Structure 1
Amino acid sequence: MVLTWNVPCRSCPYCLRGEAHLCPQGIAHAFGEPYAESAAGPVWPSMGAATLAEHTLVPAAAVVPIDRSLPLDHAALLACGSLPGSER
């Protein structure tokens, strides 16, 4: 599986017509409020935490299943491996 940082709400007009990448709630998730509290402090969403951790807490909509035969370097492109250059 890969994780997406732009989590679609699946109920707005964009999501309902198959344009989840335009979901206004998706970007709010990336910089939103903490999901929970732990003994060490708040558990922040993806852009406020170490996303290279071994464990993470994300909404189910952030999890994208992939075929096991897909090479990991290709799978990285599905998550955010190509994102930094996408606005050029």
Structure 2
Amino acid sequence: MIQRKQSVFLLLAFIASVVCLCLRIGDIEPAGMGVGFKLYNLMLDKGASVDYSPCGLFGILLISSAMSLATIFLYRNRKLQSSLCL
């Protein structure tokens, strides 16, 4: 499965994107309200009444991690694997 350095880097990219799916994006405190909340990639912190949806970033990270994982198994066709990595 992992025959080239390229496949090892793809595996590391997959692990990094899965870790990014679970990390916090930031703290948001609306002006004048005084109550802040934490924005995660998968969800909002409990008690948040403001609609800041992280669905776009979640979708991009999900597609990126799926492509990295799928590209690892294309080790027999190096040209296709290289073009998908780009």
TM-score, reference length from structure 2: 0.31
The structure with the larger Rg is 2
Q: When you count helix as a share of all residues, which structure comes out higher?
A: 2
TM-score, reference length from structure 1: 0.31
